[in-house]
Structure 1
Amino acid sequence: MKVVIDEDKCVAAGQCVAAAAEVFDQREEDGIVVLLNANPSADLADDVRNAAAVCPALAITIEE
Structure 2
Amino acid sequence: QLDNNNFGGNSIPDTYANMSKLVKLSLRNCNLQGPVPDLSQIPHLLYIDLSSNQLNESIPPNKLGE
TM class, shorter-chain normalised? under 0.3
Tell me which of the two structures has the higher relative contact order, counting C-alpha pairs closer than 8 angstroms and 6 or more residues apart.
Answer: 1
Give the number of the structure whose alpha-carbon radius of gyration is greater. Answer: 2
TM value normalised by structure 1: 0.28
Larger relative helix fraction: 1
